[in-house]
Structure 1
């Protein structure tokens, strides 16, 4: 059903918060994630033992490759050559070969993965099963809120391998930054310039594309003006519930608009007046919180500390970070503020800190003592498995990483169902919080990381778009 969306009210300057979720889709720069459960083929019912064997072998091949993709031992990057086919290990009771292809569907512009598994029975009966996966929208990797109502992505190294969701506020992108999938702004506008490239834009208000900005898919401006500037280009279609201002640029598809159009631009598919269907990504229930409980002592990790530091927690950490085996620090029993203010920590191993109350990492400098990459995580667990950030959250339950600096060798996960304050921080990795208050001056570089137990801050994604027996 076609829906003409009502215009949203004008934002009160300074009163909005930005919430950003970087959602991993099926195809990412770092890897591909799909459901790891054993897949049962569908289609014609097997009529004989050998057919059943070949079908089971095809299933085993899909399960094998799914698990390897989940672990990251197989990487599916649409910009690189396809991964090599996967065959059953020597001596395996089943015989299969799985081919893997990944890329974009030309009709949708979205990433897709196809696995074709050929299973062979004892009598050489062959079953080929083709499964196509598409991106899902559940799960989240990075959450950020800014009191000035704007998320700025201006570092040319900032290449987000998934969706960026802005719940409240605006999104600004420039300086060769690239979003491989979709930018969704539910209560704000988008302004892209200086060669910023995005696959798709969905904004509840206006969209401005200036000076070399590129959108390789469609643009939805659902309650404001769409502005297209010189050398800006939209490869797909543009849908505007409002007015359009054109100053050069190019739209390779169509322009559908409910308001008036001023100026000129090259529009290959023509201009149409009327309503359009609201995209599903704008729906409030399109994303789900990932709960992270305390995992307990972990094999291969020393339970380094289960007492509360007397004064400066940073001093207690100095001998911990110099160890050469992964360290887990359990400070969940501490009821007062944990203060690491301006501590310099040179890591020789991965360190994960679990807390239940406030921790102050303001001004902490994290570097690598041996030049090798290391991970520094700060986790306030969410032990209630309900798909939403669950506290209790008070002003005392906050992860303060204001002005923390990470050298390029250091990455980390900051996780809390409550507030995280990374203002002015240089953070490499993931910031995932129920209420993350990021002030201007933060440099956040996305990296795909795991917790010490291997958990990812994302769900196994990959909705099956098509599954069939083909031989």
Structure 2
């Protein structure tokens, strides 16, 4: 019996399932494409943002560098405000408190990003002006025969409104002058120097312990040691004595560095020449496109013309001497000038402020062999056309603190010392002892001859200074009537010296 043959089933139709698979694959690929596009878009945005932030950071860094360079050129640390409107764009401001200067610099990227950085530095303030203890309107030299001292912890102030200064001694002072400053061996300036000319330190053993600012465009020769910054308007030639400059050096000219060691930075124009031998620069070398003359020339009040008026000295009695040939009577020139010089001793009996008017005498002199010693109880004005104070000693009587004015008038009111021949003040074995505050004023020469040993406590204001020897000078401020204090503190300048970096951080 035959079995019925099975009829095979028709093949199944798979076209629908294939379509589903294709759709799924297309969906996956679309999602992948969208994801990739998102990743590319986000990556591009991230790269753009990173570039903008990098540009902003670089601009902020440039702002800090510009601010520090500006401060080192100008010595103005506090309340600084700098803006650069072209790339790199930045704004920088500084504030000072508690011996710290804080610089905040915000830099801007091309696409609008901003980064703000803060840098904190140490800084110090030094006043190199102050009350003028010695003011000379002419070329001045201090040798080791001139011994300057202070009565307190402050430095003296020596002001030379017209002329150069040569240092050959230890000088506990700040020195401000219109001309050039030179050291010729044995020089130790314990303060700072500001000069309108140049600096010539010709001896390796010479030292200026503070800041040096020389605005002249000529060449500067540095063989010795400078403790602070050096700001120079001209070229600087450092020597081969292996000495140091303790601060930063900024020059508007070229620089030659022998074996000198610069413990701060060196800044000079890119166009200038820098020749380095065996010397070193610890703080790095900056070469901007240009350097504005970093040292400002000092300015001075004109000469203070003083012409005697009795009304200037309210409360003073007046003793007027007469010139009676050969007489030594009370009230005559010979009472003081001739032996035994009784007039000088009589000053110790004064009990009220007194003016001795000796303008009728050829001079007022203690050079008569009597070696007078006066113990003053009260203030005293000595007025004459010429002084010879040889071997005169003036001391304060017990419990008194007298002031003494030794005055040669300047009768021509023209703002400059008008010197008439023989109108000097001769200091020769003279002692104006501590306890007495004395001013010597003359449009001619304050002449230190140095017989024995001279001592002066107070102030000098003269047309010029002639050093002889053996002077011990103790600065103590004293003025003439109507004399502005600026007349003796001329050229005063405050220097804010930037120190080392304390910290730096991002603010945003």
Output the TM-score relative to the length of structure 1.
0.58
Q: Is the 8 A contact 2:355 2:382 kept in 1?
A: yes
CA shift digits 1:273-306 (9 cap, x unpaired) = 4686384536xx8441001110215321111334
Query: Are residues 1:382 and 2:400 paired?
Result: no
CA distance in 1, matches of 2:173, 2:317: 39
- 1:43-442 → structure 2 map (5 Å cutoff): 111=127, 142-143=135-136, 149-150=141-142, 154-157=147-150, 159-162=154-157, 164-165=159-160, 167-172=163-168, 174=170, 177-179=172-174, 182-184=175-177, 186-190=179-183, 196-202=189-195, 203-207=197-201, 210=205, 213-216=208-211, 218=213, 222-229=218-225, 232-235=226-229, 237=231, 241-245=235-239, 247-256=242-251, 258-270=254-266, 272=268, 273=272, 277=293, 279-281=295-297, 286-296=300-310, 298-308=313-323, 309-313=332-336, 314-334=341-361, 336-341=362-367, 342-356=371-385, 358-391=386-419, 393-394=420-421, 396-424=422-450, 425-442=454-471
Gap change, CA 1:387 and 1:281, over 3 Å in 2:
same
Q: Is the 8 A contact 1:238 1:253 kept in 2?
A: no
Gap change, CA 1:193 and 1:461, over 3 Å in 2:
closer
Q: Is the 8 A contact 1:312 1:339 kept in 2?
A: no
Bigger proportion of residues as helix: 2
Question: What is the CA distance between 1:245 and its match in structure 2?
Answer: 1.6
CA distance in 2, matches of 1:421, 1:460: 19
> Which residues of structure 1 form unaligned runs of 5+?
1-78, 80-105, 113-134, 466-471
Q: Is the 8 A contact 2:333 2:364 kept in 1?
A: no
Question: What is the CA distance between 1:380 and its match in structure 2?
Answer: 1.3
Q: Is the 8 A contact 1:349 1:374 kept in 2?
A: yes
CA shift digits 1:371-413 (9 cap, x unpaired) = 422122211111222101124x11x332222221122111211
- Correspondence for 1:443 among 472, 475, 478: 472
Gap change, CA 1:443 and 1:291, over 3 Å in 2:
same
CA distance in 2, matches of 1:269, 1:462: 30
> Which residues of structure 2 form unaligned runs of 5+?
1-97, 99-121, 274-290, 324-331, 494-508
> SS where residue 259 of structure 2 aligns?
strand
Matched with 2:57 is none
Number of residue pairs aligned between Structure 1 and Structure 2? 324
CA distance in 2, matches of 1:349, 1:140: 22
Gap change, CA 1:306 and 1:385, over 3 Å in 2:
same
Gap change, CA 1:262 and 1:188, over 3 Å in 2:
same
Matched with 1:3 is none
> SS where residue 239 of structure 2 aligns?
strand
Gap change, CA 1:355 and 1:287, over 3 Å in 2:
same
Question: What is the CA distance between 1:199 and its match in structure 2?
Answer: 3.2
Output the TM-score relative to the length of structure 2.
0.54
CA-based RMSD: 4.0
CA distance in 2, matches of 1:278, 1:238: 6
